[in-house]
Amino acid sequence: MGYQTISVDGSIGPVGAEVSGVDLSQPFSEAVLSEIHSAWLEHHVLFFRDQNLTPTQQAGFAANFGELDVYPFMKALDSHSNVIPIIKEADSSMNFGGAWHTDTSYLDLPPKATLLYAVEVPDEGGDTLFADATAAYAELSDGMKQTLEGLDGIYSPKMVHGASGDYAQVAARENLGEAYGGNTEFTEQEVEHPLIRTHVETGKKSIYCSKPHTHRIDGWTREESIPLFSYLMNYLTQDRFVTRFKWRNGSLAMWDNRCVFHNALNDYAGKRRHMHRVIVQGEKPV
């Protein structure tokens, strides 16, 4: 697709595009906003370099795409209730977002967009991986598509925050809410969403279930469900669907949780990583 007001470089990997020619701290015209939105729908995740954003400016940019949401498990900045600081200190091993997932799919209304801004990142390490769940769905066999179409998942935050998450990467995130000063009241809640999600704006289908957040398939036992989740996650995260984003201070990534998975790498022991995270309200997955 051709863009008139922004530059969009989609050659950076299988999913995502780097956008230049915009200063996100400033208000911009409807034409620019409309092209950013179109590029986001086309590429699923947009990367902006060399920005200089206060929390209010980051939230202001995010608000162009919908109502801002509040992440229930972590404490926001005192100065801005929609901006969550994600800080991994040099001596900490706790890695927020360190498993393949889409954000908070265990909520009834998961956020459609997440905007993550790099305040201070290590010179090396701490990259984030993004996987294209639409392209992955498209390449499934007709038989697998038909099987998945009829299935709903039971999604639950207890997979992340409670005792039943039995994967190594999930265990590493247990008590995350407490550790970050948020609440833990939602831990037993379960919601039902399809395993295959149709994007309300593009009409495209994507794999949606994720190993850290989907407890089981509706009507199946968890034991029966896990092999299918494992297959889908291994399939979806093959190199041909994945872009690796190397952060620099001032980078901002804006991803579409309806069609892209992500995974924060934990390979920078001894270094500090400080991000600001904002989410935009989404709709019930269909």
Q: Which residues of the chain form contacts with ligand SIN (CB under 6 A)?
A: 86, 96-97, 103, 114, 116, 128, 262, 264, 275, 277
Looking at residue 280, its amino acid is: V
State the nearest-atom distance from the C-beta of 31 to ligand SIN, in Å: 30
Q: Tell me whether residue 86 or residue 196 sits nearer to ligand SIN (CB atom).
A: 86
Q: Which residue is nearest to ligand SIN (CB)?
A: 97
Q: Tell me whether residue 76 or residue 116 sits nearer to ligand SIN (CB atom).
A: 116
Q: Tell me whether residue 173 or residue 193 sits nearer to ligand SIN (CB atom).
A: 173
Residue 45's Cβ-side half-sphere holds a number of Cα atoms within 13 Å equal to 32
> Kind of pairing, strands 214-217 and 152-155?
antiparallel
Q: How far apart are CA 134 and CA 131, in angstroms?
A: 9
Q: What 3-state class would DSSP assign to 17?
A: strand
State the nearest-atom distance from the C-beta of 196 to ligand SIN, in Å: 22
State the nearest-atom distance from the C-beta of 89 to ligand SIN, in Å: 14
Q: Tell me whether residue 97 or residue 153 sits nearer to ligand SIN (CB atom).
A: 97
State the nearest-atom distance from the C-beta of 46 to ligand SIN, in Å: 15
State the nearest-atom distance from the C-beta of 128 to ligand SIN, in Å: 4
State the nearest-atom distance from the C-beta of 118 to ligand SIN, in Å: 9
Q: Tell me whether residue 97 or residue 110 sits nearer to ligand SIN (CB atom).
A: 97
State the nearest-atom distance from the C-beta of 20 to ligand SIN, in Å: 21
Q: How far apart are CA 274 and CA 88, in angstroms?
A: 6
**Of 192, 218, 147, residue with least CA distance to 285:** 192
Q: Tell me whether residue 228 or residue 257 sits nearer to ligand SIN (CB atom).
A: 257
> Are 73 and 186 contacting, i.e. CB atoms less than 8 angstroms apart?
yes
**Is residue 207 within a helix (H) or strand (E), and if so which, with residue range?**
strand 205-207
Residue spans of alpha helices (H) in the chain: 30-43, 55-62, 133-138, 142-149, 158-161, 168-171, 176-179, 222-236
> Are 281 and 68 contacting, i.e. CB atoms less than 8 angstroms apart?
yes
Q: Tell me whether residue 222 or residue 274 sits nearer to ligand SIN (CB atom).
A: 274
- Across the beta sheet with 191-194, the strand order is 191-194, 152-155, 214-217
> Are 22 and 32 contacting, i.e. CB atoms less than 8 angstroms apart?
yes
